[in-house]
Each structure stands twice: as C-alpha cells, then as structure tokens.
C-alpha cells in the first residue's frame, strides 16, 4: 500500500506531497538507528554478559528460579545471554514492532524460543497474572534504556513502573547502579556554542562593535543537552576548574523515582576562572560490588585511556550554566545537578542549596528566541571572528555608497555588517533602529512596495537556512535569487556569486562501525538484524548521503578533493539538470569506507568559504573539517565489513552526480573500481 506524505523541501522551499511505502517510517527508523553501533560495542556487550551471569548465579544460589524481565530487548541479545547463563525464562519487551518481529526471528534462529517470550508492548502496558503477559513477577531486571544523558529515553519512568508492577521487591538488576559525573570548566570555544559574542567590524570610521541584545545576554539558553564526542575536543580548548565530581547515583535494584530532584556537591576550584560549562558522563556498574563497570568517561578521566571503547550511541554531555560566573581558587562552591523525568541541568551556587533553602527546580528555558533559531554549531559559526572578517572583506569589494542590499539567510548578521560597511539601505529580519527593514514574506511574494520602489543592487546570503540538513540544502539561496530576479537591478551583484559541490574518498577511524554488519555478537547469530538494516538502507538510504559533523569523527583522505558540480548564482536556476560523471583516483592505501561531500561558496572571485575542508590534506591524509557545519557521508557498503576482504585492489571510485532543478535534489552513485581506460 502507498501513502501520501507531505514534506517541506529544504532546497526549493516548497511543500511537496510524495507517494511513499506505508512502512517508510519504519525503514527510516531502522536505517538511521544505532543498533549496529550497539552490537559492535564489545565493552558494553562483555560487561552486560558478565553482569547477567553474576545475577543469574546469585538467584540460583538462593535456590530460586531465575525469571528475567528484559525491557527494550532490541535484538534479544541480553535475553539470549540470560538464558545461556542459566535463566529459567525471559520476558523480552520491545515496543517497536519491526524490532520485536526481528527479535522473535533471532531468538528462534539461536534456538531459544522455548525460553524467551518476546512481548511487543511498551513496558508500562505489560500485565502480570494468570491471563497476563507474564504469569508472575520477574526476579531479575535487565535493561538497556540509556542515552548519552542516561535518563533521556525515559529510563526513570520505566524503572519506576517496573518495580511497582513487574518485578519482585529487592530483585537483581543488570545494570545494578548508574552514577553521573560532572566537571566544571572554562571554555571560550564551548561557551561560543551558547552565547553570542560581540562582533567586531573594521570600517572606514574605525572598529565598530555589534553588541548582543541584553535579552540574549540574560537568557539561560536552550534547555537541551549538547551531546558530542568529547574525546575529539582538544584539552587546550578548556581549562579545568574542578575535580571530576560524582553528582548522583541511581540504584536500579530498588524502587526508582522519576520525580524531580537535585543533588549538590561542594568543591574547591582547582583554578580561578569563569565557570561556564559542565562536562558530564556516566558509568554503569553491572553488579552490587561495582567490579563490573562500563564507563563513558573521556580519555582524561578514564582509568585506561589506551583501551577506550569508541561508541556513538553513548557519548558525553556538554551543559551550559545559565550565566558564566567568576570563581576563585581557595573558595568553596556548590555544583548542583537537577533532573526531572527526562532531563538533567546544572547550576552553580556559593553555598549548599540544602543550607540556604534556594533550589531552582524549574528547567531553564530560552526566552530570547535566539536559541530556538540557532543550534549550537550555528552559535559557534556566528561567533567565529575569522569567518566574519572574511565576509566583511568580501563585502568591501562589492559595496558602493548607494548600494541597496537584500539579505537572505536565517538569523544572519550579514545585514548589520553591510550597514556598518556603508550600504544605503538593508532589508533583513534583524532590528537596527530604522536602518534595516524587516520583510516578513516568502521571496516569491516580494513586491516593489516592500522594497520602497527601489531595485536591489546587491543580493546577499551566507547562505544559511535552519531547514538545511545536508550541505547542498542551502542551495535554497539560488531559488530565492530566482524568485526575486525581477527586483534585481541590471548588473546587480550576487554574493556569493557561485557554489560548488566537492567530494573526497576517506577511510574512517571509527564511524564505519555504524553501518558495518555484525554477523556474530558474543557467540549469538544476529545476521537477521544485519539483513534487516541492509533492507532498510536499500529502501532508499543506501543511495543517499547522511549528515555528520566530521570534526568529531576522524578520517583519512584516500583521494584528492574533487569538484563535482558548480552552481552559478549570477544566473537563475536552470531548467535542465546539471550532471557530472568521472572518477577519483585512490592515492593512499586504506579501506574506502565512504565519500565525504561538502559545499564551497565563492563569495567573490578571490574569496571562498568552505563547509568542509579548511586546510589542504596533509601527507598522511589527515583532514581538518569545518567544526560549524555537518558534512555529508555516502557510505560504500562493500568496504564496511572488515571480515570481508575486497576483491582485488580498487584504485578509483567512479561517480555519477545529478542536480535536479525541479526538486532541488542531488542524486548520486559512487562505485569502487579500477581506473577506467
């Protein structure tokens, strides 16, 4: 059966109705899931297996049958571990139907159907009793309900319900306990992801400063955690102000509460500075003694930095204090962790909240709107003074005293830069007294009256649009340029004047794991899951690129960067497709995991802004990526399974790339091959 799905096209700006398979959402969910990453997380799997064996053994030693409740079973892996460890029976709960169906097949494939019952329900809907899903309560609770923030996937409410309705009092739990850690730091780089800094512009009248509005300065910021691969942040990018502080623990073997709570830890600063950012992570102990531990600690806080397990399904957290606060070495402060049923946030106080009776339980919420418009990388991009200087320099070459500018980008400061550099009149959604006019219209609805009867002599864009996911989605600027063509003065300047799509073959250090088949996981056959993911990817995603911030995911270049397509913004969007075919020669040995794609915007003939590579690749193939942008990755499936040797030695990647003007889509196909004759 086919269904019609409405979507806003990020490139053209139009709303489209597409005919999709009725299971399209399922395919998308599975294709973009972290199941492969979890199955490749050997440290996680081994620790869970050890913890389950120990829990089953403790129950058996008490002369009891081992009845296991596995909430969020996924592939059924933990349930199969439990049965192998000697559990008498397992109830495996999985709410996502395609996943539950896969778990049934995997359990059967491994010969455990008589000991494992897969229940396709949310755990809060599971019933216990003679006619229920479970005849009796379980005495071992096994779960993997955690995200990078620990509680963001609803772990607390799920545990709370399970203890009240599904498991025995004082049951065994795997994991047994979780502990959340925090470390206070000062970091201009990370603080730039949360606050707008003054923007400095060199003009003919000297330096001008764009000051952030007071509402933005006072705003506590976005309430959500920023989860990143903290191991990729250089230690030179932050100053440690506190020791690693254990903030709170949750004992999963006892009744858990999802009610709002706070926990304070007193500390003496290790150095004086500006308290701005809290770095946080957690560990889980699989046994009551804490001998079997799985930790998310970054390398500087890890007991075995060289043995660090890479994983993408659990990373580390960056939290921003509502305001930066000066702290002085030798004084005493309290770091307070707050949480509700799904979120964690932090505050800094001079005395313990228990002592002064002041506890800010309410979650901080953005009231300046900027944190709703700009995500964290966008804040960093706007705060990048070098980037601002590059745009200012390009503007100086195209502005004239009588320039009439139309600025098109979401939440951009270009209009203010142009004003300070001498444009006569600016039209842009920003407030600068009466010098910048706000036009709240779609570009195709723009009228001469909106422009006060004037023709535009300079069309500006970064371009940046909040709806863009992939690098080329910002080609929306080209469609805007086409829509306002009638309002442009003859010989009007467009900046950027053009854009180009670039690509490079790479070998990832770790990112390949998220698309790599697992086959066998701790002795259990999970090929069915591999096939399910492959089928979902083949539905569409295998033919598409996906966005990743590659500064967090190191890779080596195996080919030279290559320009694939060029888009001339000085002309309207063409009627015919723009196509390119060719090959990229592999110049370095390695496994060709995928193709990285990015856009470069040519502001003027002498100035280019890259959303991808910022520097030439070095002799070893190491890459320096733009940290403010996500690049696109097209995975080459034949190279993603390290167990399968490649046939021959491919020496090139051939490509076919096509831009479709009617939809704004870019379709692509890349193949490993020998260098064509």
Cα separations in angstroms, 110 against 72, 390, 557: 19, 60, 40
Angle between helices 527-539 and 24-31 (to 10 degrees): 120
Residues 461, 495: contact at Cβ < 8 Å?
A: yes
Is the alpha carbon torsion for 64, 69, 73, 76 positive or negative? Answer: positive
Q: What is the DSSP string of 271-293?
A: S-EEEEEEEEEEEEESSTTS-SE
* Token representation of residue 316: 């580390």
Cα separations in angstroms, 484 against 288, 499, 517, 571, 575: 67, 19, 49, 12, 17
Is the alpha carbon torsion for 138, 141, 142, 143 positive or negative? Answer: positive
Measure CA 533 to chain center. 20
Residues 291, 310: contact at Cβ < 8 Å?
A: no
The per-residue b/e assignment along 579-613, b for 16 or more CB within 10 angstroms, e otherwise, is ebeebbebebebbbbbbbbbbbbbbbeebbbbbbb
The per-residue b/e assignment along 59-93, b for 16 or more CB within 10 angstroms, e otherwise, is beeeeeebbbbbbbbbbbbbbbbbbbbebebbbbb
E-only strand ranges, 475-574: 488-495, 498-508, 520-521, 524-525, 546-548, 555-557, 562-568
Of the residues 16, 20, 29, 144, only one is catalytic, namely: 144
Residues 612, 471: contact at Cβ < 8 Å?
A: yes
Q: What is the DSSP string of 449-480?
A: TTTTTPPEEEEE-----TT--SGGGGGHHHHH
Which residues are bridge partners to 499 per DSSP? Answer: 567, 601
Residues 275, 184: contact at Cβ < 8 Å?
A: yes
Query: For the chain, first and last CA: distance in Å?
Result: 45
Residue the block writes with tokens 């999709």: 20
Task: Round to whole Å and give the CA distance between 620 and 208.
Answer: 42
Task: Round to whole Å and give the CA distance between 506 and 594.
Answer: 6
Known active-site residue 153: yes
Known active-site residue 144: yes
Task: Round to whole Å and give the CA distance between 567 and 663.
Answer: 15
Task: Round to whole Å and give the CA distance between 292 and 176.
Answer: 10
Of the residues 20, 29, 153, 424, only one is catalytic, namely: 153
Q: Phi, psi at residue 533, to the nearest 5°?
A: -65, -45
Q: What is the CB neighbour count within 10 angstroms for residue 252? A: 24
Q: Which residues participate in catalysis according to the annotation?
A: 144, 153
């Amino acid at each position: 059966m086919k269904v019609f799905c409405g979507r806003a096209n990020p490139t053209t700006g139009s709303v489209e109705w597409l005919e999709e398979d009725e299971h399209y959402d399922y395919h998308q969910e599975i294709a973009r899931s972290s199941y492969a990453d979890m199955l490749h997380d050997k440290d996680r799997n081994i620790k869970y297996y050890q913890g389950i064996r120990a829990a089953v053994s403790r129950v058996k030693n008490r002369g009891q049958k081992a009845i296991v409740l596995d909430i969020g079973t996924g592939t059924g892996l933990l349930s199969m571990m439990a049965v192998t460890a000697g559990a008498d029976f397992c109830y495996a709960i999985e709410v996502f139907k395609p996943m539950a169906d896969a778990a049934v097949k995997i359990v059967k494939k491994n010969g455990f159907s008589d000991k494992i019952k897969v229940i396709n329900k949310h755990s809060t809907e599971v019933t216990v009793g003679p006619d229920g899903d479970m005849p009796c309560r379980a005495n071992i609770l096994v779960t993997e309900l955690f995200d990078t923030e620990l509680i963001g996937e609803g772990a607390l409410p799920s545990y709370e319900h399970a203890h009240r309705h599904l498991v025995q009092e004082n049951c065994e739990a795997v994991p047994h306990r979780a502990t959340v850690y925090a470390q206070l730091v000062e970091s201009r780089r990370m603080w730039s992801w949360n606050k707008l800094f003054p923007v400095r512009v060199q003009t003919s009248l000297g330096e001008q400063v764009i000051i952030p509005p007071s509402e933005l300065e006072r705003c506590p910021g976005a309430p959500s955690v920023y989860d990143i691969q903290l191991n990729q942040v250089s230690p030179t990018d932050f100053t440690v102000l506190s020791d690693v502080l254990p903030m709170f623990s949750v004992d999963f073997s006892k009744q858990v509460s999802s009610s709002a709570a706070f926990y304070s830890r007193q500390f003496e600063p290790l150095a004086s500075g500006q308290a701005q950012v809290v770095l946080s992570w957690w560990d889980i102990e699989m046994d009551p003694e804490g001998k079997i531990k799985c930790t998310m600690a970054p390398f500087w806080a890890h007991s075995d930095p060289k043995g660090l397990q890479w994983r993408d399904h659990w990373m580390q957290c960056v939290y921003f204090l509502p305001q930066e606060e000066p702290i002085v070495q030798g004084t005493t402060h309290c770091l307070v962790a707050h949480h509700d049923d799904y979120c964690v946030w932090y505050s800094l106080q001079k005395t313990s909240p228990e002592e002064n009776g002041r506890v800010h339980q309410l979650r901080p919420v953005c009231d300046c709107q900027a944190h709703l418009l700009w995500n964290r990388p966008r804040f960093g991009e706007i705060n990048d003074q070098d980037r601002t200087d590059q745009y200012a320099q390009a503007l100086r070459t195209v502005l004239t005293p009588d320039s009439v500018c139309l600025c098109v980008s979401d939440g951009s400061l270009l209009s203010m830069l142009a004003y300070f550099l001498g444009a006569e009149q600016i039209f842009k959604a920003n407030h600068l007294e009466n010098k910048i006019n706000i036009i709240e219209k779609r570009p195709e609805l723009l009228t001469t009256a909106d422009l006060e009867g004037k023709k535009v002599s300079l069309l500006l864009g970064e371009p940046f649009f909040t709806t863009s996911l992939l690098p080329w989605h910002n080609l929306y600027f080209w469609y805007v340029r086409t829509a306002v063509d009638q309002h442009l003065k003859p010989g009007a300047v467009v900046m950027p004047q053009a854009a180009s799509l670039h690509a490079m073959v790479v070998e990832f250090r770790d990112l390949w794991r998220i698309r790599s088949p697992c086959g066998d996981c701790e002795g259990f056959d999970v090929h069915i899951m591999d096939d399910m993911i492959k089928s979902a990817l083949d539905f569409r995603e295998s033919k598409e690129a996906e966005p990743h911030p590659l500064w967090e995911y190191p890779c080596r270049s195996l080919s030279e960067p290559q320009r694939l397509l060029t888009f001339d913004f000085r002309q309207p969007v063409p009627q015919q497709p723009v196509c390119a075919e060719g090959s990229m020669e592999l110049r370095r040995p390695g496994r060709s995991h995928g193709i990285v794609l990015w856009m470069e915007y040519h502001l003027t003939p002498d100035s280019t802004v890259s959303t991808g590579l910022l520097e030439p690749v070095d002799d070893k193939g190491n890459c320096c990526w733009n940290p403010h942008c996500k690049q696109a990755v097209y995975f080459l499936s034949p190279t993603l399974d390290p167990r399968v040797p490649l046939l021959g030695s491919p020496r090139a990647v051939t490509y076919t790339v096509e831009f479709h003007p009617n939809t704004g889509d870019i379709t692509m196909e890349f193949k490993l091959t020998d260098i064509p004759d």
